[in-house]
Amino acid sequence: MISNKKIEQKIDSLLNELTLDEKFKLMVGFFRFQTNTIKRLGIKTFKMTDGPLGIAQHSSMLRKNTRFAAGISLAASWNRELAYECGEAIAREARSINRLCVLGPGINIGRTPFCGRTYEYFSEDPYLTKEMSIPYVKGMQSQRVAACPKHYVANNQETNRLVVNANIDERTLHEIYLRAFKETVEEADPWTIMTSYNQVNGEYVHGSAKLLKSTLFEKWDFNGFVMTDWWATEHRDVDKGEPEQPTTTQAIKAGLSLEMPVPILYEEDILREEFGKGNFTEEDIDELIRRLLRIYYKVGMFEEEDNLPKGERNTKRHQNLARRMAEESIVLLKNENNILPINIEKTKKIAVLGPNLNKKLYSFLMGGAAAVNPPYEITPLKGLREKCKGKIKLTSDPATADYVLLFMGLNHESPAKLMGSKIKEMKEEYGNESENYDRIQLGLSETQINLIKKTVKINPQTIVILFNANPVAMEWLEDIPAVLEVWYPGMEGGKAIANVLFGDINPSGKIPWTFPKKIEDSPAHKSTRTFPGENLQVYYDEGIYVGYRYFEKEGIEPLFPFGYGLSYTSFELRDAKCDKDVLKSLGDSLHVMVKIKNTGRCEGSEVVQVYAQTHNSSVDRPIKELVGFQKVRLKPDEIKEIKVLIKAKDLAFYDIKTKNWKVDEGKITLHIGTSSDIIVFKSEITFKS
């Protein structure tokens, strides 16, 4: 890739040659997922594809794309290297079909367990979110394919998503909802950013100079370009109380380079008229086009194909990665009397039941625009048949089986595929997780709950396997000896599940969410004011107390705490210490060093987690916040010493007086453990500026 200095020189030359009308043409999409061309200057179309779970069918119009595990699955792996591999692989698939930008990762924060699009996102926690996002973006752009973190910002619900106004105080906005975007921009340099549909504090983001020009460009030094979400600029019905769109000039002055998929605000006649009135200058337009052209050069649009990375699609390498992602993300939530793993040599018959036993979850619009249609899909039934062939009989009769496997969970069907009575049936039978649709209850359907209760009475050796992205209530948990959370595990999911059930793979996932016992325990669900909102206004009254921060502050016992997950083996943490005990600036850092031993009988992985508790702060702070983690794999009796990097900037809060990040001088306690609730060591450090 040519140097940044050379790129800017070439852009200067192109800007001098482009006419004003040609510049206007570059600012809008040319139907669906591409931009306009300027053939006389060799500017080709910039082709995009939806993500972030693979190459989406509706944007590529192609089948046979690798369907990787969901974003929530990737976060549950707590594996940065896996996130890099995922971004890299999806970029190779994009290159194979001449797409130069993938619309992902999705890095909105999990504010409510009802959000239909959580499966695309990472976590309730901004630190874990950015630690997944940064390597994902780096991996993708290593193949010279532009990543596009989305949806900037506060797209935390699907209900009224096109018009709802998220009312968020300044500190909360920066600490919780903007933080992953900020860190991803500063550490991974994403080449594009997509704005959200919703308003934030009374402004659509695509017209907000505060959120784009002041924050994204000036404070964070973002060098790429900003695009809208698809049809985000459509005219609103003001007579019905819907908020009015920004003006064309407001969007230009804010810093919106590309309107997708067709011109509305940037319709050519409107641009000419506004320009003629002197509402914006050609210099304003040049800055927007410069940002576009900068990325066109970075992805190689002006280079020969032979000089660019080669793509590949649905290869064995990608299929294996899809399986590994699914395996590492599976969380063992309960394992009473070590009922798992199942001994394949000592088991004769297993009953397999449930709505997700043989259901294919990945086809056109399954889950919404991000849906990938893979060349094949290994359902749980298919995975079990392959694993048990010639050894264990699979049956539907719990009474005669050694074990029962119940494949339960939520529906992943897009309402766009259903009509009338089928939508009603879907709402009643399932909680649904899909774009355009938020869930209506925390628990499973009544039908599924009844099946669980009925089955475990017949056979107490019943294991529940859950397919979902958001937390689910489990009023049946005490009656069930084992529960596996498998999320949406992708096209290799059935094989991964079978490998975990029979012990070929030791589960190592940790939940990236706090699982509440009931929806009223969730901080976003105190009234209709806080979710789904009233009169198109939703109020983030919980402030910074999202997820485990709220549960710990209020002393509410969750069903499962943030960062929790069991293993088939056991681990012991020893001798935790810090390599220094004083931090002196926001640019400073230290390492927490801890020895960990596998004290069990099989190989496995553990995630050492570090949380910070600030004392004597000038502002209200959570009891503790995640500031570091490291995943480590160990053989039986093996001991390793690991180092967990702790950056001073991750200990900071956003100071609304100075508009900067700050750590108060004084003592900080580092809590070292294996979940937010299981703390083994505490270590004191000091911040002294």
The token pair that represents 71 in the structure block:
């974003």
Query: How would DSSP label each residue in 607-620?
Result: EEEEEEEE-S-SS-
Nearest CA to 394 out of 505, 504, 501, 506 is that of: 501
- Give the distance, in angstroms, between the CA of residue 215 and the centroid of all CA atoms in the same chain: 22
Q: What is the 3-state secondary structure (H, E, C) of 392-412?
A: CEEECCHHHCCEEEEEEECEC
Which amino acids are annotated catalytic? Answer: 229
Calpha distance 683→130 (Å, rounded)? 25
Contacts 24+ apart (CB under 8 A), 184-187: 184/107, 184/130, 184/133, 184/134, 184/137, 184/149, 185/149, 185/216, 185/220, 185/221, 185/222, 186/220, 186/221, 187/130, 187/134
| Sheet with 537-539: strands ordered across | 203-204, 199-200, 165-167, 537-539
Q: Are 75 and 512 in contact (CB under 8 A)?
A: yes
- The CA distance from 652 to 585, in Å, is 11
Please, which residues have CB within 8 angstroms of residue 5's CB and are 6 or more apart in sequence?
none
* Contact in structure between 154 and 186 (CB atoms under 8 Å): no
Facing residues of 147 across strands? 102
Which residue, among 212, 394, 329, has the nearest Cα to 605 in the 3D structure? 329
Residue whose structure tokens are 């600012």? 27
| Distance between CA atoms of residues 133 and 51, nearest Å | 13
**In contact, 184 and 227? CB cutoff 8 Å:** no
311: number of CA atoms within 13 Å, CB side?
Answer: 21
Q: For residue 234, count other CB atoms closer than 10 A to its CB.
A: 12
